[in-house]
Amino acid sequence: MRMYLAAMALPFLTSLAAAAEPTMCHARINGKDVVLGYDRDEAGMVADYSRRERLAARIGQHDCPSYVVLRSLTPELDDDQRQPFCLRHDEETDSVAGYDLGERDAWGRCKTASATLCSRVNQASGGAAAIGSAAARKSVQGLRALPDGSGAVIVSGTGSAISGALASLGGAAAAVAASPVLLTGAAVSVVAVGGTVYACRAAE
């Protein structure tokens, strides 16, 4: 009986081992070649993995799908929460320079060329939740929810103005307001999504 059960379990265990084996791919990020891994079976279920990218992979171009690259840059988010972001392409180095806010093209790149880049402001506990609550209460002028199902809220303006508005909320929002990114006074967009706060501003 034990031998029978073991024989029955072997194909299942073999399939699990096969499923756990990642497909390796190459990406150019900030001018450097990076090797990433992903689940090829999952790729067909990812909504923002375009038909064009699937075709390129099928004919032997093994560059990483855009969603895999974006995942590597924003590991703290899930695919729904990544919806506001697109990959910023640097023509000079022919590589991904980071991520920005905006619509994506068929390759996951930002449809509109932009000189801005997004980055995590800090990991202040509760900062994103505080900003989300402020949006719901409409207690910060210009703070709005994005209509894309990501759950993100965003406010744009000068860093100093946004910093002052968030500081007035106190608590975790005030900790975000003290970020050096916001104290420069330059134009910036602040995005709160998935428990993390991002600032998108002109690349240095």
Look at residue 3 and tell me whether its pLDDT is greater than 50. Answer: no
Q: How confident is the model at residue 5 (pLDDT cuts 50, 70, 90)?
A: very low
Contact 196, 118 (CB under 8 A): no
Over range 125-131, report the average pLDDT.
86
State how far the alpha carbon of 192 is from the alpha carbons of 134, 147, 163, 169, in Å: 11, 14, 14, 15
| Alpha helices per DSSP H over 59-204 | 66-73, 127-137, 159-167, 171-177
Look at residue 69 and tell me whether its pLDDT is greater than 70. Answer: yes
Look at residue 167 and tell me whether its pLDDT is greater than 50. Answer: yes
Among 30-34, 77-81, 114-118, the range scoring the smallest mean pLDDT is 114-118
Of 22, 57, 54, 59, nearest in space to 37 by CA: 22
Cα gap 145→54, rounded to integer Å = 32
Residue spans per domain, the chain: 21-111, 120-202
Q: How confident is the model at residue 9 (pLDDT cuts 50, 70, 90)?
A: very low
Among 5-19, 93-107, 132-146, the range scoring the smallest mean pLDDT is 5-19
Cα gap 48→23, rounded to integer Å = 18
Q: What pLDDT does residue 139 have?
A: 83
Share of the chain above pLDDT 70, in %: 78
Q: How confident is the model at residue 81 (pLDDT cuts 50, 70, 90)?
A: very high
State how far the alpha carbon of 138 is from the alpha carbons of 23, 24, 133, 171, in Å: 45, 45, 8, 17
Q: What pLDDT does residue 91 have?
A: 86
Q: What pLDDT does residue 20 have?
A: 61
Among 59-68, 153-162, 178-187, the range scoring the smallest mean pLDDT is 59-68
